[in-house]
Structure 1
Amino acid sequence: MHRNNYNLLRLMFALAVIFSHSFALLGQTEPVLWDRSLGNLSVHGFFVISGYLITESYLRNPKPFAFVTNRFLRIVPALFVALLFSHLVWHLCGGFKTNPVPYIANGPIWTLTWEIVCYLLVLLTGLIGVLTPAGMPVAFFASWLLYLTHLHDASDAYAVIAPLLMMFISGAFIRVAKDRINLTAVFLPALALLIFAAAPYTSDLGLSLVRHNIAFLWGPSVTDSEARRVIYLAALPLVLAYLGGVAKPLVNLRDDISYGTYVYAWPVSQTIVFVSRSRGFDLNVAELLIATLVITLPLAWLSWKIVEQPILKLKRRSPKKPDLNGAGPTARA
C-alpha cells in the first residue's frame, strides 16, 4: 500500500482539470479560485508534487544518465501514444474547426514542455551541489526575491510561467528541507492563509486594511490581487506537502492512471463536443463531464497497464535506494 496521498492528489487534480475544461470546451468561463481557473490551479498542484518527488528521485539516484533515462521513460512513451490518438481523432473530426475551441487537438500537453525544463533544473542544480540543505534555501529565497521584484510584470510569461516554476521550486525546497520543516505545525496556518486569500471579502476586511495603514516609504505599491497571489504561491505548496506526504493515506491506488487521464481527456472531450454538435445536440457541462470521464478513465487505465507500467520496469534504479513510482500527470518521478 502507498504510504502517502500523492497518487490520490494527482488523480484529483487530473479530474479537476477535466471539470474545468468542460466549461472551456463548451465556450464558457472556467470556475475561478484564487484569481485563477480551476484548471490552472490544478496544474500548479501538479508542479508542487512534481518538484517534491522529482527532487526525491534525484536525491535517491543522483546519476545523470539514470535521471535522464528515467524521466524519458516516464513521460515520452505514453505521451507519444496519446499524441497519436489525439492526431487521429483530430483528423477524423475535421480539426475540431466547428468546436467552440477549434483546431486544438490536445491543449493541456503544453505544460509538459515546462516540466522538462524543471527536470533539467533539478539535474543542473544537483550537479553543481545546490540540492543540499545548505544550498537549496539560498536558491529558494533568491527565486522568491526575483519573483517579488517583478510582481508588477503583466506579461503572459510572468503571469503563466513564473507561477509554475515557483510551485516546482517550492516543492523541491520542501523536499530538501523536509527534516527542518514541521509540516504538521505549518499546515493549519497555511490553510488559513489560503482560505483568507480566497474569501470574497478579503480585500475589504484584510488586505486593503493592511496596505492602507502600514507606512512603507518609497516601497512598491501592491494591489490586493498581487497580495493574494503571493499568499497563494507561498501557502499552497505547504498545504499539498502535508496532505500528500504527512496526512494519513486515505486510499490505496495501485494503478496510477492520473497521467493517462490528463493527456487523453482533452481530445476525448473535443471529440464528444464535435459529434454532439454535428448531430444538432448541445451538451451542458455536466453531460460533457460525465461522457468524458466514461471514455477517458478506461483509456487512462489501458495506458497504465499496456504502456506506462511495462515501460517503468526498464527504469534504472539504485540498488540501495529504489526510485519512486511517479510524480503526477505533468510530472512522473
Structure 2
Amino acid sequence: MGKRTSLFDYLRLGGAIAVLVGHSYVLTNSPVPTIGGIGPHGLGVMLFFAISGYLITGSWRADPNIARYAEKRARRIMPALIVVVLATALLLGPVLSNDPTYAAGAWRYIWRNLLLLPLHVLPGVFTSNPLPAVNGSLWTLPVEAFMYVLTPLLVRAGPWACAAAAVALILHPFTQNIAGFGLAGASGVIPYFLGGASLKMLGVKVPDTGLPKLPVDLSYGLYLTAFPVQQTIIALYPHVTPPILIAATLAVCVPLAWASWTFVEKPALTSGASRASGGRLGFRRLGRDSPASPSSDQASSKP
C-alpha cells in the first residue's frame, strides 16, 4: 500500500465527499448545484471510475494472474460491503420498519446486494422520505465489477482501443443496460474507467504532490455508509436542509468509515498482501520468476 501515491487517497476522499454532498440535495428534494450540468455526486462517481481504471489496469499488468487478481478485487470491495449490507438489513431496518413482510424482504435485500445485484428498498423503511431507497450508492458496484472482468481484455486491446471506446460511449451512450445484467447508468461512467485505463497503458505518471499520506482511507467507508445515514436523518428530521444534512452525515459517517477501514478493510487487504508475499517467496526459493508485488494496488479506487 505504501507505493500508492497519496494523491489518489485525497482524490478518492474528495470523490466520496462529493457524492455525499450531491445526495444531500437529491434526498431532500432540493435543487442540486451543478457544474456543467452535473451534480457533485455525478462528478464524484466519474472520478472514482477514472481512478479505478488507472489503478486496476496497473494491478493486472503488474500481476496478470486471474486467481490473485480476483482475490485482490474481492478483498477490496466485499468485506466492507458485507458489513454494511448486514448492518442495514439486520440492525437499522428492524428499528425503522413495522412491515410484517420485513423479514422476507430483508433476506432478499441481503443476498441480492451481496451478489452485486442491487436492491434498493426494504419493506417499510424510509417510505415517508422523498425517495425510499435504502442505499442508492450500491448501483455502481456491479458496474465496477463488470469492468474488473473486462480489464484483462482491455489491456490486450491496448490504450487507443480503450480511448476510442470511451469516446464512442460519450458520443453515443447506447448501452444503458449492458448484456442484460441490469447495469443501469453504466454508459455514463464506463468511459471514465476506460480513460483511466488508457492513461495507465500509455505510461502517464501521477505527479508527486508532496502531500502527506493520509493515515486512514475513509473513502469507501464514507461511500457505503453515507446514503443510509442520510436517509435515517431525513426520516427523523423531515425538514432538514442540505447543509445541515451534510454536516450531520459527516459527523456520523467519518467515525463509521474509520472503523470500517481499521477493523474491516485494512485487515482484509493486509491478509491478502501477506498471503501473496508468502506465495512469492516460495516461487523465489524454487528459482522461478515472481510477479510484481500487489502492494501498489491494494486499495482499489472504490470509493
Q: State whether TM-score is above 0.5.
A: yes
Partner of 2:126: 96
Partner of 1:211: none
Shift of 1:53: 0.3
Match status 1:268 vs 2:229: yes
Partner of 2:152: 123
Partner of 1:34: 36
Residues 162 and 197 in structure 2, CA contact (< 8 A), matched pair in contact too: no
1:108-119 counterparts in 2 under 5 A? 108-119=137-148
Distance 1:64 1:249, change over 3 A: same
Q: 2:210 aligns with which of 228, 246, 249?
A: 249
Q: TM-score, normalised by structure 2?
A: 0.77
Match status 1:162 vs 2:121: no
Shift of 1:146: 5.8
Shift of 1:91: 3.3
Partner of 1:201: none
Match status 1:306 vs 2:263: yes
Residues 52 and 172 in structure 1, CA contact (< 8 A), matched pair in contact too: yes
State the alpha-carbon separation in 2 of the partners of residues 89 and 160 from structure 1: 28
Partner of 1:329: 302
State the alpha-carbon separation in 2 of the partners of residues 145 and 284 from structure 1: 39
Matched AA of 2:197? A
Once the two structures are superposed, residues 239-266 of structure 1 have per-residue CA deviations (whole angstroms, 9 ceiling, x without a partner) of xxxxxx2151323202111100100001
Partner of 1:226: none
Matched AA of 2:130? P
Once the two structures are superposed, residues 63-111 of structure 1 have per-residue CA deviations (whole angstroms, 9 ceiling, x without a partner) of 0000011111111111010111222323322301111112x11110110
Matched AA of 1:53? L
Shift of 1:156: 5.3
Match status 1:107 vs 2:121: no
Once the two structures are superposed, residues 195-243 of structure 1 have per-residue CA deviations (whole angstroms, 9 ceiling, x without a partner) of xxxxxxxxxxxxxxxxxxxxxxxxxxxxxxxxxxxxxxxxxxxxxxxxx
State the alpha-carbon separation in 2 of the partners of residues 142 and 25 from structure 1: 33
Residues 234 and 240 in structure 2, CA contact (< 8 A), matched pair in contact too: yes
Q: 2:63 aligns with which of 58, 61, 83?
A: 61
For structure 2, which runs of at least 5 residues remain unmatched after alignment? 98-124, 179-183, 281-290
Once the two structures are superposed, residues 273-325 of structure 1 have per-residue CA deviations (whole angstroms, 9 ceiling, x without a partner) of 11223xxxx21112111111111010000011111111112325364522223
Partner of 1:259: 220
For structure 1, which runs of at least 5 residues remain unmatched after alignment? 184-244
Q: 1:18 aligns with which of 13, 17, 20?
A: 20
Residues 4 and 246 in structure 1, CA contact (< 8 A), matched pair in contact too: no
Residues 14 and 261 in structure 1, CA contact (< 8 A), matched pair in contact too: yes
Q: 2:251 aligns with which of 286, 294, 302?
A: 294
Shift of 1:160: 3.3
Identical-pair percentage: 33
Partner of 1:81: 83
1:122-141 counterparts in 2 under 5 A? 122-126=151-155, 129-130=156-157, 135-141=158-164
State the alpha-carbon separation in 1 of the partners of residues 33 and 210 from structure 2: 28
Matched residue count: 252
- For the residue of structure 1 that corresponds to 2:237, the secondary structure is helix
Residues 135 and 227 in structure 2, CA contact (< 8 A), matched pair in contact too: yes
- For the residue of structure 1 that corresponds to 2:128, the secondary structure is coil
Partner of 1:216: none
State the alpha-carbon separation in 1 of the partners of residues 224 and 62 from structure 2: 28
Q: What CA RMSD, in Å, does the superposition of the two structures yield over aligned residues? A: 2.2
Matched AA of 2:300? A
Shift of 1:125: 3.5
State the alpha-carbon separation in 2 of the partners of residues 13 and 274 from structure 1: 25
Q: TM-score, normalised by structure 1?
A: 0.70
Once the two structures are superposed, residues 120-140 of structure 1 have per-residue CA deviations (whole angstroms, 9 ceiling, x without a partner) of 0103344xx33xxxx332343
Residues 90 and 105 in structure 1, CA contact (< 8 A), matched pair in contact too: no
Residues 78 and 308 in structure 1, CA contact (< 8 A), matched pair in contact too: yes
State the alpha-carbon separation in 1 of the partners of residues 195 and 92 from structure 2: 37
Shift of 1:29: 2.5
